[in-house]
Amino acid sequence: MFLVYLCGMQQNLKSELTKQVIIDEAFRLFHENGFKTTSIDKIMLATKLTKGAFYHHYKSKKELGLEVIGSKLQNRVCQAMIEPLGAPGDVFHILENTFLNRIKTFSLYDKEHGCPMNNFINEIGDFEIVYQAALKNIIEAWKLALIKLIERGKKEGVIQNNVSSNAVAVYLISAFEGIRGIRKLYDNDLILDEYILGLAFYLKQLKTVK
């Protein structure tokens, strides 16, 4: 298994590197201009490679789209929104950090172009079933991690027991994705501040009364 790669290593690495460059530029252009309206030509112009190189590594735009969603996008969401939920520590601190504090630290680029996943969902969530499934995977993973955290909060007695963990998870995710779309329309952060205030109130209500 290891020896097999000893000789073909250089070529194999080159191939993987090229694919990564294509994925990175594709993701960036999808994020900035949308999936459907970003052509293979534009992507390959950005990579400084040619169409021939693209169709050597991918059989279609659909295959690329699925890989961008299934690896690049999924990794980003995992790293930023899912993994932090599994960390030890105060449940409310974790919730505040991922859903509230983090949104303040977004770059102007991210505020202007919105959430890549939300963009995908709204543009091609009803386009083809394969994209639908790939995007649903990410949302489901996020939702599950969130439910787990809320359940922990209940067990530790810091979150009210009379509320469905699933419902809270879905409501948190919905509002987060919603505001990231709406923020696009504005040229300042006032709307984000209002969201943050609204979320802070919501989180406070989840706490068990002492």
Site residues, a second copy (CB under 8 A): 32-34, 36-37, 112-114, 118-119, 121-123, 125-127, 132, 135-136, 139, 163-164, 166-179, 181-182, 184-186, 191, 194-199, 201-202, 205
Q: Does 111 bind DNA (CB under 7 A)?
A: no
Backbone angles phi, psi at 159, to 5 degrees: -110, 140
61 makes contact, choosing from a second copy, DNA, none, with CB < 5 to 8 Å by partner type, with DNA
Q: Give which of a second copy, DNA, none residue 148 binds (C-beta under 5 to 8 Å, depending on kind).
A: none
User: Is the dihedral angle over the CA atoms 155, 159, 161, 163 positive or is it negative?
Assistant: negative
Find the binder of DNA among 24, 34, 61, 173 (CB under 7 A): 61
Q: Spell out the SS3 assignment of 97-138.
A: HHHHHHHHCCCHHHHHHCCHHHHHHHHHCCCCHHHHHHHHHH
Rounded CA gap, 15 and 35, in Å? Answer: 24
Q: Is 37 in the site for DNA (CB under 7 A)?
A: yes
1, 2, 10, 88: which one binds DNA (CB under 7 A): 10
Q: Helix, strand or coil for residue 38?
A: coil
Binding residue for DNA, selected from 46, 49, 130, 175, defined by CB under 7 A: 49
| 162 part of the interface to DNA, by CB under 7 A | no
The smaller minimum CB distance to a second copy, of residues 93 and 136, is found at 136
Is the Cα torsion angle 62, 64, 27, 73 positive or negative in sign? positive
* Cα–Cα distances in angstroms (integers) from residue 194 to residues 62, 82, 146, 184, 190, in the given order: 38, 24, 23, 15, 6
Give the nearer residue to DNA in terms of CB position, either 50 or 208: 50
Q: Which residues bind DNA (CB under 7 A)?
A: 7-12, 14-15, 18, 37-42, 49-53, 55-57, 59-62
